[in-house]
Structure 1
Amino acid sequence: MIRLDNISKRNGHRVIFIEASAALLKGEKIGLVGPNGAGKTTLFRLVAGQEIPDDGQVLVDRGVSIGFFNQDVGEMQGRSAVAEVMNGAGPVAETGAELAELEAALADPERMDELDSILERFGEVQARFEELGGYALDGRAREILHGLGFSQEMMDGDVGRLSGGWKMRVALARILLMKPDVMLLDEPSNHLDLESLIWLEKFLSGYDGALLMTSHDRAFMNRIIDKVIEIDGGTLTSFSGDYEFYEQQRAQNEKQQQAQFERQQAMLAKEIAFIERFKARASHAAQVQSRVKKLDKIDRVEPPKRRQAMSFTFRPAPRSGDAVATLRSVDKRYGSRVIYDGLDVLIRRQERICVLGVNGAGKSTLLKLAAGAIEPDAGSVALGGGVKLGYFAQHAMDLLDGDATIFELLESNFPQAGQASLRALAGGFGFSGDDIDKPCRVLSGGEKARLVMAVMLYDPPNFLVLDEPTNHLDIATKEMLINALQDYEGTMLFVSHDRHFLAALSNRVLEVTPGGLQRYEGGYSEYVERTGREAPGLHE
């Protein structure tokens, strides 16, 4: 359906692709992977026809429709969310718009003389609209929006009043309703809660078109894709299988390449030693010359590219008392809406509690209460003896001083720390070399999240309250964070929509339900096994 044929692309002085080739065949579901800045978004734009390669060709079969979702959703206002979704549904939306115009023309007394031609055209357009499933369009649009977490009120409300994250969902719903031959989805899992994420996973698994997608959620990607295209160093490499298989295959390929490289280096060293030893002897001149020619003809094996792995190790946190936080008879409401009524929770030392619940159930409210970010309307919240709190809030990244550089921000938070120590901290969170002099305002969402975590974790608290810490983080950073937190000896209370993160770190589950708080001993994996569902409010 789509072929990239020896494409090359530069962005200023930076080479993004060098004679790279790949193909997307009918029905394939492909995960696009590669380090940040490798060119994933550029590749999407090339396939969508928004950019053209400097050399080579992007070949799209005749008649193939392409739907492209990216993080830049554009302006949305002046109509309902459901109308905005239907408006982007491709040919059916255009046909529907013409049908509406013809209906208006039929009711216009000034156009009575055109009545026969309008009626004839109306009949043709109406038949086409029906053929395209236009009369079911409103129902399908609402079904998709419901799956992505919208209430009926939000569907019918002005789309302009929605936050950026909800507008992203509207833009995603437009592509899903369009059902093109090829879907290009650049980070569709961002801004989704766990229920919506699982609904989207099922939708895409049942989609019969071709799919090219990126995602920072490895569990999501793993369940959908059957092939991986890796961008690295300007080349495109294809791997058959899911993300897990790709990781294993890549590691095996690197191991083989390293072994080939080492064997060749040993052989080259032996040949060079012979040449150096005998080059001055006339009796060995022919042998020396023969070996020099042989070396000139050898294809050199390159060592495997080593991706810089981020790693962070906690300094030991001070030990807290056994009762870390106690919430007694807590009431909390927003206006007339009751969130908690007589809530009792005890959080014990070394518990790693993940909080689950449908959108708006009160997960973030529970974390804010425990962290002291909001006061209860009634009841009490008390931290135990020796508790040192670290709270990562969803809005924490907005509070960074945009004019300060990364290094200045770290230095202002830890004035007693040495320069080498702060540079090591920055490096552990992926800020190496000149990156440390970047002003905070130019950082991406993921970079800001990493910086906030670096500040929070340098002088480690023994009680971590984390509200969606994995939003904006790429797969490598999530792995670094999971590895660091697995060795953390303190207590955790957290919300996340990343199932890999939940399964790797939790040892207790609190589920916020309309009937009160449900408690489950054991972590997220045990919760799934016990309840038979991966999230509390899954839409059927």
Structure 2
Amino acid sequence: MIRLENISKQNGQQLLFIETSAALLPGEKVGLVGPNGAGKTTLFRMIAGQEQPDEGQVSVDRGVTIGYFNQDVGEMAGRSAVAEVMDGAGPVSAVAAELAELEAAMADPDAAENFDAILERYGEVQARFEELDGYALDGRAREVLAGLGFSQEMMDGDVGALSGGWKMRVALARILLMRPDAMLLDEPSNHLDIESLIWLEGFLKGYPGALLMTSHDREFMNRIVGKIIEIDGGSLNSYSGDYEFYERQRAQNELQQQAQFERQQAMLAKEIKFIERFKARASHAAQVQSRVKKLDKIERVEPPRRRQSVAFEFAPAPRSGEEVATLSRVSKRYGSRSIYEGLDFQVRRKERWCVMGVNGAGKSTLLKLIAGAAQPDEGAAALGANVKMGYFAQHAMELLNGEHSVFEALEDAFPQAGQGSLRTLAGCFGFSGDDVEKKCRVLSGGEKARLVMAKMLYDPPNFLVLDEPTNHLDLGTKEMLVEALAAYEGAMLFVSHDRRFLAALSNRVLEVTPEGVHQFGGGYTEYVARTGREAPGVHG
């Protein structure tokens, strides 16, 4: 269906692909993995025809339609979210736009004298809209948008008024509605809350076409794909199985390659020792010559490439009192909307609370109240004795000084720390080599999040309040963070849509619903087992 044949591609000085091949077959669901900068987006762009390989070819069977979703959504304004989504479905969108214009014209008193002509044209356009199955398409577009978390009001409002994250969802909905033969999805799980993620998971499982996708959410990837293509040092390696199978298989392959390499090194050392020992003796000349020739012909086994994964270890945090944070009879309203009424809630030492709730339920508000970033209208929020809090929220990334380099940002925060330990800290969070000299203003969302996290965790607080800490983090950094936080001694209160993060780190669940707040002893895994659902409002 789609074949990459002996492709090579260079990007500036970097060789991304070297004479490598892979294929995407009809109906296959494939995860594309590789470190940041390995060439995942370049590969998508080559399949979509937006870039050409330097050598080799990308061939797509005749008549195969491709839908490509990436993080660059372009300009959107001047029409509703539904119209924007339907625009991806071909000619029907132009007919829908004319229909909307004619409806507006019929209601316009200034156009009264042309009413008959407008009505006649409306009849023609409506017939064409029905012929193209437009009404069913409008319903399907709304269904997809609802699945991705849109309210009716947002669907019909101007798409230009939406934030970047919601525009991303509109662009994704457009590809899903298109239902092409092959979908290329570059990080579709970014910007989605857990409810939308679970809906998208179900949609993609039931999608009959081929799928090639990247995702920093391993749980999401695991549940959808049945094959992994890995970009590794310019090669495309295929593994049949989900992401976990691929990880196990790759680790096994590396062990085998290391053992092979060590066996060959031992054999070469023995041969070289023999040659060195006897090369000056005429009686052994023939044997020495034959061994030298043998060594020249041996194909050398390469050691496995060491993957950059640096573990982060917390310095021990100062011990807090037993009661870490308390909300007493707290009420909070925004305008006429009441978020909390008379809420009592307490975080105790060593408790790790994850906060669950549908979009707009008040999860971030709860974290802000406890962190002191928002004040209650009634009641009180208080931290306990000896509590040192670290608060991570999306806005923290906007507070970085754009003119400072990554290293200067760390130096500013910890003037007493040695250069070596700050470089180690930067390395743990994915800033190696020259990366530490990058100015903060040029950092991507993921890099900013990693830098803020590094600043917060170096001198560790004993109470972490984290609002979506894994947004923008790649799989490697996320895994490092999960392992580091699993060994963390303090209390935690966090919101996350990453189920690996939720399951690995929580030992309490606070569920925020319009009917009230429910507390569950036991972590996310027990919550799913007890309620039969993975998130509020989602029925498993």
TM-score by length of 2: 0.94
Question: Which whole-Å deviations, capped at 9, do the CAs of 1:224-277 have from their partners, x for residues lacking one?
Answer: 000000001111000001001000100010011111111111111111111111
- Matched residue SS, 1:395: helix
TM superposition shift of 1:515: 1.5
Which residue of structure 2 aligns with residue 524 of structure 1?
524
Which residue of structure 2 aligns with residue 153 of structure 1?
153
Identical amino acids, percent of aligned pairs: 77
- Matched residue SS, 1:88: helix
Which residue of structure 1 aligns with residue 23 of structure 2?
23
Which residue of structure 2 aligns with residue 222 of structure 1?
222
Which residue of structure 1 aligns with residue 268 of structure 2?
268
The total of aligned residue pairs comes to 531
> Partner letter of residue 42 of structure 2?
T
TM superposition shift of 1:443: 1.3
Question: Which whole-Å deviations, capped at 9, do the CAs of 1:1-55 have from their partners, x for residues lacking one?
Answer: 1000001111112111111100000000000000000000000000000000110
Which residue of structure 1 aligns with residue 429 of structure 2?
429
Which residue of structure 2 aligns with residue 295 of structure 1?
295
- Matched residue SS, 1:150: coil
RMSD: 2.3
Matches within 5 A, 1:298-337: 298-337=298-337
Deviating more after overlay: 85-94 vs 313-322: 85-94
TM superposition shift of 1:445: 1.2
Q: Is the Cα contact below 8 Å between 1:502 and 1:524 reproduced in 2?
A: yes
Following the alignment from structure 1 to structure 2, what is the Cα–Cα distance between the partners of residues 263 and 272?
Answer: 14
Following the alignment from structure 1 to structure 2, what is the Cα–Cα distance between the partners of residues 484 and 173?
Answer: 36
Question: Which whole-Å deviations, capped at 9, do the CAs of 1:304-350 have from their partners, x for residues lacking one?
Answer: 11111121100000000001011001010100000001010011110
Following the alignment from structure 2 to structure 1, what is the Cα–Cα distance between the partners of residues 275 and 309?
Answer: 39
Matches within 5 A, 1:357-372: 357-372=357-372
- Matched residue SS, 2:53: coil
Following the alignment from structure 2 to structure 1, what is the Cα–Cα distance between the partners of residues 246 and 194?
Answer: 25
Moved over 2 A (4+): 90-104, 121-128
Following the alignment from structure 1 to structure 2, what is the Cα–Cα distance between the partners of residues 322 and 377?
Answer: 27
TM-score by length of 1: 0.94
Which residue of structure 1 aligns with residue 144 of structure 2?
144
TM superposition shift of 1:124: 9.8
Following the alignment from structure 2 to structure 1, what is the Cα–Cα distance between the partners of residues 13 and 521?
Answer: 55
- Matched residue SS, 2:50: coil
Q: Is the Cα contact below 8 Å between 1:95 and 1:129 reproduced in 2?
A: no
TM superposition shift of 1:98: 8.6
Cα distance 1:102–1:26, how it changes in 2: closer, same or farther (>3 A)? farther
Matches within 5 A, 1:339-354: 339-354=339-354
Which residue of structure 2 aligns with residue 129 of structure 1?
132
- Is it true that 1:59 corresponds to 2:59 in the alignment? yes
Q: Is the Cα contact below 8 Å between 1:462 and 1:489 reproduced in 2?
A: yes
Following the alignment from structure 1 to structure 2, what is the Cα–Cα distance between the partners of residues 93 and 34?
Answer: 37
> Partner letter of residue 165 of structure 1?
G
Which residue of structure 2 aligns with residue 473 of structure 1?
473
Following the alignment from structure 1 to structure 2, what is the Cα–Cα distance between the partners of residues 91 and 525?
Answer: 47
TM superposition shift of 1:135: 2.5
Cα distance 1:444–1:297, how it changes in 2: closer, same or farther (>3 A)? same
Q: Is the Cα contact below 8 Å between 2:99 and 2:126 reproduced in 1?
A: no
Matches within 5 A, 1:67-466: 67-90=67-90, 92-93=92-93, 129-130=132-133, 134-466=134-466
Following the alignment from structure 1 to structure 2, what is the Cα–Cα distance between the partners of residues 90 and 220?
Answer: 30
- Matched residue SS, 1:50: coil
Which residue of structure 2 aligns with residue 537 of structure 1?
537
Q: Is the Cα contact below 8 Å between 1:98 and 1:125 reproduced in 2?
A: no
- Matched residue SS, 2:289: helix
Following the alignment from structure 2 to structure 1, what is the Cα–Cα distance between the partners of residues 7 and 91?
Answer: 31
Q: Is the Cα contact below 8 Å between 2:168 and 2:191 reproduced in 1?
A: yes
> Partner letter of residue 33 of structure 1?
V
Q: Which runs of 5 or more structure 1 residues have no equivalent in the other structure?
A: none
